[in-house]
Structure 1
Amino acid sequence: MTWPQWLFELEHDPPPRHPVDGRAALRRLLAVVVVGALVVAVGVLAWHAGRWAAPTLVRWQTDRVDAGSDAPPLPPLPDSPFAR
């Protein structure tokens, strides 16, 4: 059985580091930075949307929900003996 020649060369000389490895690492780093920036941007937009929607939601709650849960009107009371 014969061994490939490159196997013996690897024992004495490690393979050269190609610039492709550096580019791949840079690409990975940039991808992480972009994802982080997108997460921050979505958070800021959600914060602004919440501030914009809050008055509308409060108005809806007071108009719809609270109006439906008010107590019924009081029955008519008899005339007071102290009325003039």
Structure 2
Amino acid sequence: MTWPQWLFELEHSPPPRHPVDGRAALRTLLAVLVVGTLVVAVGVLAWHAGRWAAPTLVRWQTDWADERSQAPPLPEMPDSPFAR
């Protein structure tokens, strides 16, 4: 009984590379591209949401500050010479 020649070669050399390695690299590259695209899309959406919400937030902040602060009293003014 003789053994197949390829079995002898496998014992003394590493197995040949298969295209599976290329597919795994392509899959990794596509996953990186998808994650990068999602990060950019979330950033753009957050930027638009911030631009949309900014006027409301600023109005709330100024209203809140105005409600909780007291204006200083006006200084005593002399009577106007033009008053009748």
Aligned-pair Cα RMSD in Å? 2.9
Identity of aligned residues (%): 75
1:9 Cα offset (Å): 3.5
Per-residue deviation, residues 11-57 of structure 1 (Å, max 9, x unmatched): 3x432111111111000000000000011001101100110110000
1:10 Cα offset (Å): 4.8
Q: Determine the C-alpha separation between the residues in 1 that align with 2:56 and 2:68.
A: 18
Residue identity matched to 2:67 = A
* Equivalent residue, structure 2, for 1:64: 64
1:8 Cα offset (Å): 6.5
1:70 Cα offset (Å): 2.9
After TM superposition, the score normalised by the length of structure 1 is: 0.69
Unpaired stretches in structure 2, ≥5 consecutive residues: 1-6
Q: Determine the C-alpha separation between the residues in 2 that align with 1:69 and 1:49.
A: 30
Residue identity matched to 2:29 = L
Q: Determine the C-alpha separation between the residues in 2 that align with 1:66 and 1:29.
A: 54
After TM superposition, the score normalised by the length of structure 2 is: 0.69
Task: After the TM superposition, list the runs of 4 or more consecutive aligned residues in structure 1 that deviate by more than 3 angstroms.
Answer: 6-11
